[in-house]
Amino acid sequence: MPNVFLGVFFHWLGGLASGSFYVPYRFVRKWSWEVYWLAGGFVSWIIAPWLLALLLTKSLLPTIAASWAMEPQAVIWSFLFGMMWGVGGLTFGLTMRYLGMSLGMAVALGYCTVLGSLMPPVFQGTFTTQILGTQAGLINLFGLGICALGIALAGTAGMSKEREMSEDAKRESIKEFSFTKGIIVATISGVFSAGMAYGMAAAEPLSYVSKYFGTGDIWSGLPKLCVILLGGFTTNFIWCMILLLKNGTLYQFFSRDVRERDAQGHEGTPVAVNMFWNYFFSALAGLTWYMQFFFYSMGETQMGDFKFSSWTLHMASIIIFSSLWGIALKEWAGTSRLTKTLLALGIGTLLYSTFVVGYSNYMNADKATVQTQVVTAGATIATDDYLKKDLAPTAKDGKPSDTGQSRKTTAGFQITARPLDALQLTFEEQKIKSDAVSKKDQDDRQARWLKQLQEKYPVAKSADANKKD
């Protein structure tokens, strides 16, 4: 059974990593933005995901090869969604550059939270049954609304700060502050950054294949990141190369001296650069950035049927910790009590939303284990209301007795029905039946994957099989 509270904790760790990753970049001196962004990105998009996946999963390259042979469209879409997310990540860096951590994160992640949380279940066709059709799903949706409210409060605090601070104060804390540019790039970033959530959903076959080769559940999401982040790297690499050639800053990767016009705020020609510390802090920022999705992939494995809610938890945690970093870095110094109160309310609301979403996942996991037992292809569908009753024997004429009987539906499912007055399926039974059909489709898909894997890799065993040995 998934451990929902452990999943929430992992998402908090991921949020801490994401909310903290830009801090090391503040210690990079005299490099242009495109230089330190690409230097850190190479660590976060290439080195870290592939290195950790090679260390913590089984047969990484065969996993990707088998996934390509089995579901090539899944790998392609994962890569393309990664490129889409790459645009969001690229403009996210510019958002931090123009708006700072607090306001930038609030605006960009507001769009990202709603789209990234709702679109995967909509496209998968489970929005109606899993979210609108269950109490746990409605509570989850309520938690998303609370999260959106928290983001709005944090964004309002940021706009209030922008009105109150002098231009000199803004540029002291955020050297290239520009509200207009920042809002534009933050909007683009938020819409496109939701591509990561789409990519994680599309890349599910890689997780399944990784588990088939013996990877434990908690690490099975790491191969997905290798493909998705490769797409993200492609987008960022292309754009950074354009800037490097346009601005003539490519030399900064190799030179200990930087031209005066390239080192903002520094006088003299040439300007000396400490390349070791610049690379160190860029790499540290990149590694910290990657850890958000390292923990995200771990948390997702613990969320049960509500994997989509991982995105809500992740976004809320990011804004909480980025706002706290903004306070620590004195981005809110000199603001009014009202602005600080709005920020505190925003952080508190976001924190509350993580508890609401976590509780809805706990409800869903508990119901799946205790209340509802669903098995397709003519097996029994039973709810707790029926489990409390003993079944009486069927009458000789084949009609149901007064106390109840097990009967077949037209769809071939066998349900435990109420006595005589249960001529029609209740709404709950219809939902269970609908979920059973959806589950059967998913099981059929995984059965097809398993057959293909066993034909090509007959000696490979799943993680569950390894545990039994």
pLDDT at 244 over 60: yes
Q: Copy the structure tokens of residue 89.
A: 């990540």
Per-residue pLDDT band at 455 (split at 50, 70, 90): confident
What is the residue extent of each domain of the chain? 4-371, 374-443
For 282, other C-beta atoms within 10 Å of its C-beta total 25
Question: What is the rounded CA–CA span in Å between residue 135 and residue 125?
Answer: 18
**CA separation, residue 227 to residues 45, 49, 188, 371 (Å):** 10, 9, 23, 38
In this structure, the chain runs to a length of 469
Question: What is the rounded CA–CA span in Å between residue 128 and residue 134?
Answer: 9
Per-residue pLDDT band at 306 (split at 50, 70, 90): low
Per-residue pLDDT band at 94 (split at 50, 70, 90): confident
pLDDT at 233 over 90: yes
Residue 408: what are its φ and ψ, rounded to 5°?
-95, 140
pLDDT for the residue numbered 195: 85
How does the average pLDDT of the chain come out, rounded?
Answer: 74
pLDDT for the residue numbered 172: 59
Handedness of CA 214, 220, 223, 227 (dihedral sign): positive
pLDDT at 1 over 70: no
pLDDT at 409 over 50: no
Mean pLDDT of 420-433: 42
Mean pLDDT of 133-143: 77
Q: Which of 66-75, 251-260, 286-295, 453-462 has the lowest mean pLDDT?
A: 453-462
Question: What is the rounded CA–CA span in Å between residue 310 and residue 197?
Answer: 9
CB-hemisphere CA count at 13 Å for 261?
3
3-state SS of the chain is: CCCHHHHHHHHHHHHHHHHHCCCHHHHCCCCCHHHHHHHHHHHHHHHHHHHHHHHHCCCHHHHHHHHHHHCHHHHHHHHHHHHHHHHHHHHHHHHHHHHCHHHHHHHHHHHHHHHHHHHHHHHHCCHHHHHHCCHHHHHHHHHHHHHHHHHHHHHHHHHHHHHHCCHHHHHHHCCCCCHHHHHHHHHHHHHHHCHHHHHHHHCHHHHHHHHHCCCCHHHCCHHHHHHHHHHHHHHHHHHHHHHHHHHCCHHHHCCCEECHHHCCCCCCCCEECCHHHHHHHHHHHHHHHHHHHHHHHHHHCCCCCCCCHHHHHHHHHHHHHHHHHHHHCCCCCCCCHHHHHHHHHHHHHHHHHHHHHHHHHHHHHHHHHHHCEECCCCCEEECHHHHCCCCCCCCCCCCCCCCCEEEECCCCCEEEECCCCCCCCCHHHHHHHHHHHHHHHHHHHHHHHHHHHHHHCCCCCCHHHHHHC
Looking at per-residue confidence, does 321 or 226 come out higher?
Answer: 226
Question: What is the rounded CA–CA span in Å between residue 394 and residue 410?
Answer: 19
Looking at per-residue confidence, does 218 or 378 come out higher?
Answer: 218
Per-residue pLDDT band at 223 (split at 50, 70, 90): very high
pLDDT for the residue numbered 51: 96
pLDDT at 218 over 80: yes
pLDDT at 429 over 50: no
pLDDT for the residue numbered 352: 83
Looking at per-residue confidence, does 250 or 310 come out higher?
Answer: 250
Quick check: 287 and 1 in contact, CB under 8 A?
Answer: no
- pTM score over 0.75: no
pLDDT for the residue numbered 374: 40
pLDDT at 373 over 70: no
Question: Which of 321, 75, 292 minimizes the C-alpha distance to 199?
Answer: 75
Mean pLDDT of 104-112: 72
CB burial readout 51-71, b (16+ within 10 A) else e? ebbeeebbbbeebbebbbebb
Looking at per-residue confidence, does 57 or 449 come out higher?
Answer: 57
pLDDT for the residue numbered 317: 80
pLDDT at 260 over 70: no
pLDDT for the residue numbered 226: 95
Question: Of the segments 43-52, 161-170, 301-310, 428-437, which one has the largest average pLDDT value?
Answer: 43-52
